[in-house]
Structure formats: structure tokens, C-alpha cells
Amino acid sequence: MKGIPINDPGALRNELAKYKRGKKLDIRQFNQAARLAWLGRAVLSPLDPEDPDCKAWLLYLQRPEGLAEHCLVVDEDLLQFIHVLDAEQGAHLVAILGEGVKARAGELEALNRRDFYLDRYFDPEKGKG
């Protein structure tokens, strides 16, 4: 863990300002985080919800499970830490998370309405079942 000398108030203020701004993930890491966010495996929270000037986000990525675990490539360093993201990337990941939830919910609703029996046992060309 990074140590901050507390005998220098200016250095402490500078470090706190860096955290309030957050930092960007590189393109590869952002894409990996976005894939996990779309799957609902990301936890995002404002860094300081009580401070209107602080727009940074906290990001924690959960390890994918099931089929996604075998298909997705995710850097281990993304999974082991809580990241402080800047406002722009945090807002984009929140939107991607929402898109993923809507898409998965839509697929589940369509699956719930689908009639497999008629698909398999009724041939509309012959007109009989």
C-alpha cells in the first residue's frame, strides 16, 4: 500500500485531490471491465456521494462464473482491487451495466413467453400437429 507522509499537509492535499479526480483504466482494462459490467459482475459506487465536486467512482469487479469464466479473459490485477475511476469512465460503466441488465432481462422475458411445444410438435405447412 502506498504511504503518504502526514508531516507535509500540501502533499496530503495533493494526494486527496488525485483520489477525488480518479484515474482512467487503459483501453484493454476498460474493455475487460465493461464486459464484466455488462454481465452484472461489477459493483460501482460514487467515491464520495456527499461531495458534489467529487465525480470519481469506486469500482470492484467480481470474477466471472460459469461459461463466462471460461470464455472471458480478465487480468487478475483488475479482480483483486477496488479501483478509483474518473467521472467519465465511471459514468460509461454505469451505462454499460444498465444496458446489460436490460438486455438480459429482455432475453429472460422472451424465453418465458416462448412456446417450445408448438415449435417442436406443430408443423404449420402440413396444418396438423
pLDDT tens digits, 38-62: 999 999 999 989 988 889 999 999 9
- Look at residue 18 in the predicted model and tell me its pLDDT: 76
Pick 126 or 59 by higher pLDDT.
59
Torsion of CA 101, 106, 107, 111, to 10 degrees: 140
What number of H helices and E strands is found in the chain? 6, 3
How much is the pTM? 0.79
Residue 126 has pLDDT above 90, yes or no: no
**Do residues 70 and 51 lie in contact, with contact meaning Cβ atoms separated by under 8 Å?**
no
- Look at residue 7 in the predicted model and tell me its pLDDT: 73
Residue 92 has pLDDT above 70, yes or no: yes
Residue 81 has pLDDT above 70, yes or no: yes
- Look at residue 12 in the predicted model and tell me its pLDDT: 74
Residue 129 has pLDDT above 80, yes or no: no
Spatial neighbors of 123 by CB under 8 A, at least 6 apart, are 129
Q: Return mean pLDDT, the chain.
A: 88
